[in-house]
Amino acid sequence: MNKLFLFDIDGTLVRGAGPQHAAALVAAIRQVLGVETTLDGIPVHGMLDRDILRDMLRAGGFDDARINTALPAIVAAAQELYPPTCPDISAKVLPGVREVLSEIRALEFPIGLVTGNLTRIGWTKMERAGLRDFFSFGAFSDMGATRGDLARIAVELAGVSGCAVTMTGDAPSDVAAAKSNGFRSVAVATGLTPRETLAALQPDLLLNDLSQPEDRRALIGG
């Protein structure tokens, strides 16, 4: 059977990529609208960058009409501001990630991203993590309204048909996105969500991390 594998980035492939991502969102709003905003009080885990920006702007007193007008320019600015600031994050790659990606690639199955990051932010993280070459496509927050939409878009971008799709992530939104598309869901307890919370969502496979060969085989072979 042909297979296709989708991965989230933050908390799944890398952890603790640094404050530069949040700083780029703040700086983009400042550049476009000339106001100071913050991510304080915004539950960013598992959210899409565009939704995070919307919440930042609402907290800053902007109405939806003004947000909708300004958002395209803010999204563009954030993607310009982040790459020059992103450090080498190769040491932040989570245990077993390089191994599982290498094992999937050796089997010649397509590998893609489904992430809440904006496009250039996501690809920059993969470059600075040393993981870029594993991925031939990706769906990012500027490409769809929900993570479920992004998962569907990623499969379309893969350009293959009749594949069994496995989607791996660390947040409840990743599990929900997989389930909404009928994909096999793999949850890894490597992010901010407790294992017990992930277990309650009944993913098809729940792993502590990808450090153990038998767990990587379960992810690939299911």
Q: Domain of 131: which CATH number?
A: 3.40.50.1000
Judgement on whether residues 98 and 199 belong to the same structural domain of the protein: yes
Domain boundary among 85, 102, 135: 85
Judgement on whether residues 95 and 182 belong to the same structural domain of the protein: yes
Judgement on whether residues 113 and 81 belong to the same structural domain of the protein: no
Domain hosting 59: range is: 20-85
Domain boundary among 85, 106, 124: 85
Judgement on whether residues 134 and 78 belong to the same structural domain of the protein: no
Mean pLDDT by 10 residues, the chain (222 residues): 93 93 97 96 92 96 96 98 97 98 97 98 98 98 96 95 95 97 98 96 98 97 71
How do 184-188 and 164-169 pair as beta strands?
parallel
Judgement on whether residues 96 and 121 belong to the same structural domain of the protein: yes
Judgement on whether residues 114 and 196 belong to the same structural domain of the protein: yes
Overall number of domains in the chain: 2
Judgement on whether residues 182 and 115 belong to the same structural domain of the protein: yes
User: Closest by alpha carbon to 109, among 7, 211, 212, 213?
Assistant: 7
Confidence (pLDDT) at 45: 87
Confidence (pLDDT) at 222: 54
Phi-psi region of 85 (alpha: psi -120 to 50; beta: other; left: phi over 0): alpha
Confidence (pLDDT) at 16: 85
Judgement on whether residues 111 and 73 belong to the same structural domain of the protein: no
Domain boundary among 46, 69, 85: 85
Judgement on whether residues 43 and 117 belong to the same structural domain of the protein: no
Asked whether 160 and 188 are in contact (CB, 8 A), the reply is no
Judgement on whether residues 7 and 32 belong to the same structural domain of the protein: no
Instruction: Phi first, then psi: give them for residue 210, nearest 5 degrees.
Output: -110, 20
Judgement on whether residues 80 and 103 belong to the same structural domain of the protein: no
Judgement on whether residues 93 and 175 belong to the same structural domain of the protein: yes
